[in-house]
Amino acid sequence: MSAGMVIIGGGQAAGWVAKTLRDSGYQGTISVISDEPWDFYERPPLSKRALLEADAPLSRLFSEEQQAALDLTWYRPLRAERIQRQQKSVLLSNGQSVPYDRLLIATGSRPRLPGREWQNHPRVHTLRSWHDALSLKSALADCRQLAVVGGGWIGLEIAASARSLGIAVTLYERQPRLCQRSVDAAVSQALLTLHQQQGVSIHCDCGEMRLAHQHGLPQISCDQVPLRSFDRVVVGVGVELNLELAQQAGLEVGNGIVIDDRGQTSDPAIYAVGDVARHPRFGFSLQSWAFAQNQAIATARALLDPAAPGYDEIPWLWSDQYGINMQILGLPQGQGKTVVRQQSDSTLWFRLGEDNCLQQLVSFNDARSIKLAKRWIGTQRPLDAQQLADPAFSLMTLR
């Protein structure tokens, strides 16, 4: 009998692989090895709804009926400890071996910490899993002073949620500006202004952050800001990709598991999807909801159909803060300039390359322009900066 498909990981990318395989008519065994006890769920609500709503349910990827219809063989909560490529099997933490015909690695990533001393402090939190969200929510219930370490998207979302709960928030960012890796300086400035207007105290350019304790409370300091006590600390300084299985198995790895546009790794029987996979075009891991879903779907289709198109989408992610829907399409690359368009109830930041083609569009409350921009980036159409900046000029005429 065929060993079928084995998926390591029970997150968003894993869920979409399983669903797409079944939707495409695959009838063989699909085994899922997951170290979490839950059905597939999505993580974006963990920093938003899950912290704000008293009884927010698990953000399931599929309804219970849909999930049951997938007819999966679960191994959970169990860890995959080793990929045994010679035997084409996966060794689990309970000593069992699960054989595979095709293996999909969907192990995602885990929160990074500034140093070892940040590990295991009962009042220092990270946010990755449903379990983390429940623990942070109950911690915020009696928190008056919160420190957020890290001014990336997750740190900012946690700061926004905490402010909505009436908690005083101090945010520390190591770099000179917020979300420095993903957006231009003008967008970082807008994020800074927004959070300051909402009462967040922000320290940028902090360099190395230090953690101390007094009377059981965590204390934070850095070169620019003196030591201060908080009720709770949340760390959001980026992630470590869960690459160890791929590395031990001798797969090609560098800024993520190296894959082609069909998700295939350097071993033709093994595929990688989601955060852990290196983007086939950009050469690094993207860590976005859209990539985890759509690259997983493309990979599952490619597994069953050699003629299926590979993954080729423009990077896209979103964030929700203080009721503002932020969308980020594309990546800034090389030299370029930013054009700001201030509309009555929304703002757009166009990042143009030297050829005046759009590299990135960031929108606050303007999803429609993001749709238009997908075409402009796709076709590499040169744009006129003056027209873009003029709110009286209709972008629809550039359709």
Ligand X SMILES: Cc1cc2nc3c(=O)[nH]c(=O)nc-3n(C[C@H](O)[C@H](O)[C@H](O)COP(=O)(O)OP(=O)(O)OC[C@H]3O[C@@H](n4cnc5c(N)ncnc54)[C@H](O)[C@@H]3O)c2cc1C
Where on the chain is the footprint of ligand X (CB under 6 A)?
8-14, 33-36, 43-44, 46-47, 79-80, 106-109, 127-128, 154, 242, 245, 274-276, 287-290, 292, 317-319
Secondary structure of residue 123 in the 3-state scheme? coil
Tokens standing for residue 133: 């969200």
Task: For the CB of residue 102, give the shortest distance to ligand X in the complex, in Å.
Answer: 17
Task: For the CB of residue 186, give the shortest distance to ligand X in the complex, in Å.
Answer: 21
Of 364, 322, 326, 325, nearest in space to 163 by CA: 322
Please say which residue, 182 or 339, places its beta carbon nearer to ligand X: 182
Please say which residue, 109 or 341, places its beta carbon nearer to ligand X: 109
Task: For the CB of residue 366, give the shortest distance to ligand X in the complex, in Å.
Answer: 17
Please say which residue, 221 or 325, places its beta carbon nearer to ligand X: 325
Please say which residue, 229 or 325, places its beta carbon nearer to ligand X: 325
Task: For the CB of residue 253, give the shortest distance to ligand X in the complex, in Å.
Answer: 15
Give residue 113's identity as a one-letter amino acid code. L
Task: For the CB of residue 256, give the shortest distance to ligand X in the complex, in Å.
Answer: 10
Please say which residue, 109 or 369, places its beta carbon nearer to ligand X: 109
Question: Both ends of the chain: CA-CA distance in Å?
Answer: 54
Task: For the CB of residue 52, give the shortest distance to ligand X in the complex, in Å.
Answer: 13
Please say which residue, 79 or 210, places its beta carbon nearer to ligand X: 79
Task: For the CB of residue 288, give the shortest distance to ligand X in the complex, in Å.
Answer: 4
Parallel, antiparallel or unpaired: strands 358-364 and 270-272: unpaired
Of 82, 92, 86, 121, nearest in space to 31 by CA: 92
Please say which residue, 109 or 265, places its beta carbon nearer to ligand X: 109
Per the omega criterion (within 30 degrees of 0), is the bond before 77 cis? yes
Please say which residue, 173 or 275, places its beta carbon nearer to ligand X: 275
Q: Residues 189, 193, 195, 196: is their CA dihedral positive or negative? A: positive
Of 32, 19, 17, nearest in space to 70 by CA: 19
Q: What are phi and psi of 348, to 5 degrees?
A: -125, 145
Report the phi/psi class of residue 136: left, alpha or beta, with left for phi > 0 and alpha for psi in -120 to 50. alpha
Task: For the CB of residue 397, give the shortest distance to ligand X in the complex, in Å.
Answer: 30
Of 111, 94, 109, nearest in space to 33 by CA: 94
Residue 218 CB-half CA count within 13 A: 26
Residue number of the CB closest to ligand X reads 11
What is the distance of C-alpha 67 from the center of its chain? Answer: 23
Task: For the CB of residue 313, give the shortest distance to ligand X in the complex, in Å.
Answer: 12
Distances (CA, A) of 225 to 170, 194, 205, 230: 11, 22, 10, 14
Rounded Cα distance, 190 and 197, in Å: 10
Instruction: Report which DSSP code applies to 382.
Output: B
Please say which residue, 16 or 230, places its beta carbon nearer to ligand X: 16
In contact, 188 and 175? CB cutoff 8 Å = no
